[in-house]
Amino acid sequence: MNKIEREKRVVECMIKLYCKKKEHNKNLCKECREIMEYALKRLDHCKFGEDKPTCRVCPIHCYKPEMKEKIKTIMRFSGPRLIIYHPIFTINHSIRELLFTPKGRRK
């Protein structure tokens, strides 16, 4: 699995987890489906491709502002849970940086 594919799966998992555990939906709701499609599309169009830098730099920064806020909320909720439910995804994964970098240091 390449980097982009792996990241797609991480994003998918996070959004599903958020919708299920936070919003208590059985199936992915419309809003979450939209953000998922959006996120996957961003990854498809990521100009960095296989040289993609960490999530702290990308893809967050090419998101539209409202999508950025939403995905951040999702990542904050699902990130720590993903480590519990799917530890394999978090190995070497940079979303951790986004979650655990102290606020002041983030650009």
Which residues contact Zn ion (rule: CB under 5 A)? Answer: 19, 23, 29, 32
Q: Which sign does the torsion angle of CA 11, 13, 19, 25 carry? A: positive
CA 78 to chain centre: 9
Q: Which lies closer to Zn ion via its Cβ, residue 15 or residue 58?
A: 15
Query: C-beta of 102: minimal distance to Zn ion in Å?
Result: 29
Choice between 29 and 91, CB closer to Zn ion: 29
CA distances (Å), 71 to each of 1, 7, 54, 60, in order? 23, 14, 15, 8
Q: How far is the CB of 82 from Zn ion (least distance, A)?
A: 16
Which residue's CB is nearer to Zn ion, number 61 or number 76? 76
User: Nearest distance from residue 37's CB to Zn ion, in Å?
Assistant: 13
Distance CA 86, CA 53 (A): 22
